[in-house]
Amino acid sequence: MLSSLQNPLALVSRLLFAVLFLPAGIGKFTGFAGTVGYISSVGLPMPTVAAAVAAVVEVVGSLALIVGFGTRFAALVLAFFTLVASFSFHPYWAVPADQVMITQLLFFKNIAVVGGLLALTAFGAGAWSVDGQREGR
């Protein structure tokens, strides 16, 4: 029974990841100066370049997931991006005690997203995708 849901669930999975990353990427483009400022505030080098890379990764990665084109690679890039962002922007071990709970929640939410993206990397986009059509599923 569950195998009959594999393709619809793979599609829903890809779309739900896009719901997370696409608005964030668009927001980085539309609020670019604020994004650069936020990246600067955590001390990352080359904040303008980092903001541009982040926006492109989120938008292009989301679009790739939506249509299921280069899905495994897109999911892997988004997983790496999310892992780096987790350590850079949600260091719950280094915040004041009154900020630990929310920062830790955000960190581990991102880690769960990384896990989902790695599963998508491992299993692919499913038949309801450009990748699936190209593979003749």
Domain layout of the chain by residue ranges: 2-134
CA distance 71 to 129: 9
Structure confidence at residue 114 (pLDDT): 98
Using one digit for the tens of pLDDT, what is the confidence trace for 98-128?
A: 999 999 999 999 999 999 999 999 999 999 9
Q: Identify the pLDDT of residue 2.
A: 79
| Structure tokens given for 68 | 């299921």
Give the burial class of 43: count Cβ atoms within 10 A of its Cβ; 0-12 exposed, 13-18 middle, 19 or more buried.
exposed
pTM of the model: 0.94
The terminus-to-terminus CA distance of the chain in angstroms comes to 19
Question: Which pair of tokens denotes residue 111?
Answer: 């880690």
Q: Which residue has the tokens 């990748």?
A: 131
Predicted pLDDT at 137:
62
